[in-house]
Amino acid sequence: MAGKMLACLERNFQKGSREAEIKGRDIYDLLWFMQQKIRPLEEKLAKDGEKTYTVGSAVIELAEKINGIKIAHLAEDLLPFFEQRSFIEAWLEGFKENFREYMKYYL
């Protein structure tokens, strides 16, 4: 989970002609980990990122980043992976609220 958190915080990738703020699959995986209440390895967060994170500082920075995500960009990345379009559309509709709820466990 720490690796996924670092990917969401620090990885930049190209999506077509634009640089995306976050990879849809990374944020989807991160929320799954959080829903399961999996604890990230503090040591990995402290040592493997471009800067040092604690679980709390990483979650706070992730919250800021997630607030700025455009749902259309996330949908563009995620929709091709799901046969049931209605499932991922519902997930996209609530992912910011779900993140805010899940993050309480980590603070």
Please name the helix (run of DSSP H) or strand (run of DSSP E) that holds residue 47, with its range, or none: helix 42-47
Q: Coil, helix or strand for 23?
A: coil
Q: For the chain, which ranges sit under pLDDT 50?
A: none
Distance from first CA to last CA of the chain, Å, rounded? 16
d(CA 57, CA 6): 12
- What pLDDT is attached to residue 73? 85
Residue 11, pLDDT score: 82
Number of domains in the chain: 1
The pTM assigned to this predicted structure is 0.87
What is residue 11's three-state secondary structure? coil
pLDDT at position 76:
87
Contact present, 7 and 46 (Cβ < 8 Å) = no
Structural domain harbouring 33: 2-106
What does the pLDDT read at residue 23?
85
Q: Return the pLDDT at 91.
A: 96
Residue 16 confidence (pLDDT): 55
